[in-house]
């Protein structure tokens, strides 16, 4: 069993190293002739003005918050799904209730107009 995790470790290292080689290899053979015009930020030929790290819609953060709720819910659902065959029917209903409570949250957020993209 532990062997498998060693394999995953080896695999992760290899899967990082192979793209790294692919990115580093052209650096040896490709030309290097930098100049100021070439290295300008590309904004369709117009010079960039001001701070580039602009503010964007707060809606993105709300989506991230709701995502977090559901992501944690799903983590709890995995063990429930795996052991479903051994659980009594009551425990299955409990799982359904758990989903329903979070579902109510989603409906609340929807009714509140959080999801509306204006």
Partner 1 sequence: MADLINLIETWIKTLLLGWGASEGLTEFTLQALGSVLVIIFCFVIVIALIWVERKLAGRIQDRFGPNRAGPYGIFQSFADIIKIFTKEYVTPTGAEKGLFNIAPVLAMASVLAIWAVFPFAMNVVGADVHVGVLYIVAVGAFGILAILMAGWSSNNRYALLGASRSVAMLISYEIPMVVSLLVPVLLAHSMKLSLIVEAQQPWFIFVAPLAALIFLISSMAEIGKAPFDLLEAESELVAGYHTEYSGMKFGMFYVAEFLHQFTVGALITIFFLGGWSGPFAVQWPILGVVYFYAKSFIVYVVISWIRLSLPRIRIDEMLNLNWRFLIPVSFINLVAVAIADRVMMDFELARWIYVLVMFGTNIIILLAALMLAEKSSKAVEREEFSPRPVAVPPGSESK
> Which residues are at the interface with partner 1 (CB under 8 A)?
1, 3-8, 10-12, 14-16, 18-20, 22-23, 25-27, 29-34, 36, 38-44, 48, 52-54, 56, 59-60, 63-64, 66-67, 70-71, 74, 77-78, 81-85, 87, 89, 92, 95-96, 99, 103, 106, 110, 115, 117
Q: Which two tokens stand for residue 83?
A: 């052991």
The minimum distance between CB 62 and partner 1, in angstroms, equals 10
* 80, 95 contact by CB (below 8 A): yes
**Of the candidates 54, 76, 70, 65, the residue with the CA atom closest to the CA atom of residue 102:** 70
- Helix 89-111 vs helix 59-82: angle between axes, to the nearest 10 degrees? 170
The minimum distance between CB 40 and partner 1, in angstroms, equals 7
* 41, 52 contact by CB (below 8 A): yes
The minimum distance between CB 84 and partner 1, in angstroms, equals 6
């Amino acid at each position: 069993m532990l062997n498998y995790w060693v394999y995953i470790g080896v695999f992760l290292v290899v899967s990082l190293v192979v793209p790294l080689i692919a990115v580093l290899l052209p650096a040896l053979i490709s030309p290097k002739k930098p100049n100021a015009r070439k290295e300008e930020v590309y904004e369709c030929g117009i010079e960039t003005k001001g701070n580039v790290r602009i503010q964007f819609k707060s809606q993105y953060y709300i989506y991230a918050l709701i995502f977090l709720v559901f992501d944690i819910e799903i983590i709890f659902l995995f063990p429930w799904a795996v052991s479903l065959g051994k659980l009594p029917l009551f425990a299955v209903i409990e799982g359904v209730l758990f989903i329903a409570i979070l579902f109510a949250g989603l409906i609340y957020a929807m009714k509140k107009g959080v999801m509306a993209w204006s």
